[in-house]
Amino acid sequence: ALTKLRSEYIGSERIRYTGDRALPERAQTTIDELSKRDRKQSTVLHKYFVEMSLVLAEMHRVLHHDAAAVVVVGTSTMRNIDVQTHLCLADIGADIGFDVVGVAQRALDRNKRMMPARFGRKTDSMIEQRMHDEYVIGFLKPPIFEQDRHNGNNR
């Protein structure tokens, strides 16, 4: 049961059709560049960005105007390409209609993080090598302006 559930996590490597959705230029360029090196991994990345665009769209739908949303995301390197996940997600959020308030980098304290840590012995684990920071993305659903109310536009 847990294996089936994990296969449905956002970002899982199990590929299933997520529908066509246009992505911002930075995200699409990153996918295209990755595709030159590893077609399967580019499909995984495309799936992740499409699924996250659905998540951000739902957040935008349910939030009140002038309300904030915060997304915390880790860094990612795929086939030696810095995916710049934080910037791609900020672009996706902006395309959906959020104002991007800011993107801040935050260092992770190795002794306090919830990732596997191997104390006292050397490791070549990829997760140990790459999880040293994360990014906090601030989104704001814009307020409804007086003229928009009169025109019936609800963004």
> What band does 150 get if pLDDT is binned at 50, 70 and 90?
very low
Q: Express each pLDDT in 82-108 by its tens digit.
A: 999 999 999 999 999 999 999 999 988
DSSP conformation class of 113:
-
Task: Kindly state the tokens that stand for 137.
Answer: 């993305």
| Structural contact between residues 90 and 27, judged by C-beta atoms closer than 8 angstroms | no
pTM above 0.85, yes or no: no
Per the document, the length of the chain is 155
Q: How many CA atoms lie less than 13 Å away from 13 in the CB half-sphere?
A: 4
C-alpha span between 131 and 134 (Å, rounded): 8
| Structural contact between residues 25 and 88, judged by C-beta atoms closer than 8 angstroms | no
